[in-house]
Amino acid sequence: MLRRVFSLSTLISSAKPSPLLNQVAYGLSFLKAFSTDTLKPVEAGILSKATTPTINFVLGGPGVGKGTQCARIADTYGFTHLSVGDLLRKEISSNSEYGAMILETITKGKIVSSEVTVKLLKSTIDSSKTNRFLIDGFPRSEENRVTYERIIGIEPEVVLFFDCDEEEMLKRVLHRNQGRVDDNVDTTMERLKVFEAYTLPVIRYYSEKGKLYKINAIGTEDEIFERVKPIFAP
Ligand code: C5P
Ligand code: MG
């Protein structure tokens, strides 16, 4: 059962992202945020940033090594690494309003309500002093993506997809010993199913838009990073 390999070889794309289009989209999202009668921002926050943040998304199944590679990309190319899973886990440990719901969802390997996740992401980006972000583990579903477009609305420049077979992902999760509630066989099997059912459609979406860069995630940390470098190298 675990031998299935995602057949996504058609997803590699070489199209260049367009910073100009991003500026236009950001301008439109800014205009949308004003109600006509009051001319006050309907949703303050990210819109208060002086310049449009640069956003890149990083996707891949559980245990594929997104966090490890993101840390290296962030260090080498000057991004702020935001792991959405980490942001959600922080909500649990700070006993926030949504902490109990998030814990239950993560324990089951399901996806947290997009409204909660996107608002959390928005306030994190907005309160950050930096302006270049690598957002790891997001958008996890089409619902995540559409909610992001409604609330934040900045087109990602690059969407990285770390690709690996399910058997290897399960093995890596079970060996990593980070004490996570969801790093067990049952929850990881569920996360793999969720990845296939909900995240692959997002990967297909960005592939069709010419924004997807698929990276073979089998190999050493260094080997994988060598494959990533040309995407960000100036
Ligand atoms: O990315 P990471 O493996 O750290 O995510 C852990 C868990 O956090 C996911 O299995 C999911 O339950 C939750 N999550 C989510 N929505 C996201 C990212 C993570 O619900 N966009
Ligand atoms: Mg992670």
For 175-218, write each residue's pLDDT tens digit. Answer: 999 999 999 999 999 999 999 999 999 999 999 999 999 999 99
Measure 87 CA to ligand 1 centroid, in angstroms. 9
How far from chain centre, in Å, is Cα 95?
Answer: 23
Structure tokens at 224: 């994988």
Tell me which residues have their CB within 5 A of the ion that is ligand 2: 67, 83, 85
Distance CA 118, CA 110 (A): 16
Distance CA 182, CA 207 (A): 29
Question: What per-residue confidence (pLDDT) applies to 7?
Answer: 36
Residues 6+ apart with CB under 8 A from 91: 98, 99, 102, 120
- Phi/psi for 159 (5° steps) reads -120, 115
Atom of ligand 1 nearest to the CA of 85: 4
Least confident of 48-57, 109-118, 217-226: 48-57
Alpha-helix residue ranges (DSSP H) falling in 52-98: 66-77, 84-93
Question: What per-residue confidence (pLDDT) applies to 19?
Answer: 46
In this prediction, residues 135-147 reach a mean pLDDT of 98
Atom of ligand 1 nearest to the CA of 194: 10
> Across the chain, which distance is largest between two alpha carbons, in Å?
58
- Nearest ligand for residue 69 CA: 2
Atom of ligand 1 nearest to the CA of 110: 12
Atom of ligand 1 nearest to the CA of 144: 21
Atom of ligand 1 nearest to the CA of 182: 10
Measure 12 CA to ligand 2 centroid, in angstroms. 23
Confidence bin at 36 (pLDDT 50/70/90): very low
The single residue listed with the structure tokens 């100009």 is: 20
Between residues 21 and 90, the one the model is more confident about = 90
Distance CA 124, CA 5 (A): 35
In this prediction, residues 223-232 reach a mean pLDDT of 98
Exposure string for 198-230, b = 16+ CB within 10 A, e = fewer: bbbebbeebbeeebbbbbebeeeeeebbebbee
Confidence bin at 30 (pLDDT 50/70/90): very low
- Nearest ligand for residue 147 CA: 1
CB contact at 8 A, 44 and 119: no
> Considering only CA atoms, which of 161, 226, 169, 228 is closest in space to residue 11?
161
Strands 158-163, 54-60: parallel, antiparallel or unpaired by DSSP? parallel
Extended strands (E) in 61-193: 80-83, 132-136, 158-163
Question: What per-residue confidence (pLDDT) applies to 57?
Answer: 98
How is domain 52-232 classified at the architecture level of CATH?
Answer: 3-Layer(aba) Sandwich (3.40)
Tell whether the model's pLDDT for residue 6 goes beyond 50: no
Measure 38 CA to ligand 1 centroid, in angstroms. 38
Tell whether the model's pLDDT for residue 33 goes beyond 60: no
pLDDT digits (tens, 9 = 90+) for 99-137: 999 999 999 999 999 999 999 999 999 999 999 999 999
CB contact at 8 A, 72 and 65: no
Ligand 1 — pocket residues by CB below 6 A? Answer: 62, 83-85, 88, 105-106, 109-112, 117, 137-138, 140, 144, 182, 191
In this prediction, residues 23-39 reach a mean pLDDT of 40
Question: What per-residue confidence (pLDDT) applies to 177?
Answer: 93
pLDDT digits (tens, 9 = 90+) for 64-94: 999 999 999 999 999 999 999 999 999 999 9
Measure 18 CA to ligand 1 centroid, in angstroms. 28
Measure 69 CA to ligand 2 centroid, in angstroms. 10
> Considering only CA atoms, which of 85, 179, 72 is closest in space to residue 138?
85
Instruction: Kindly report the average pLDDT of the chain as a whole number.
Output: 86
Query: For residue 139, is the peptide bond before it cis, meaning its omega torsion is within 30 degrees of 0?
Result: yes
Confidence bin at 47 (pLDDT 50/70/90): low
Measure 136 CA to ligand 1 centroid, in angstroms. 9
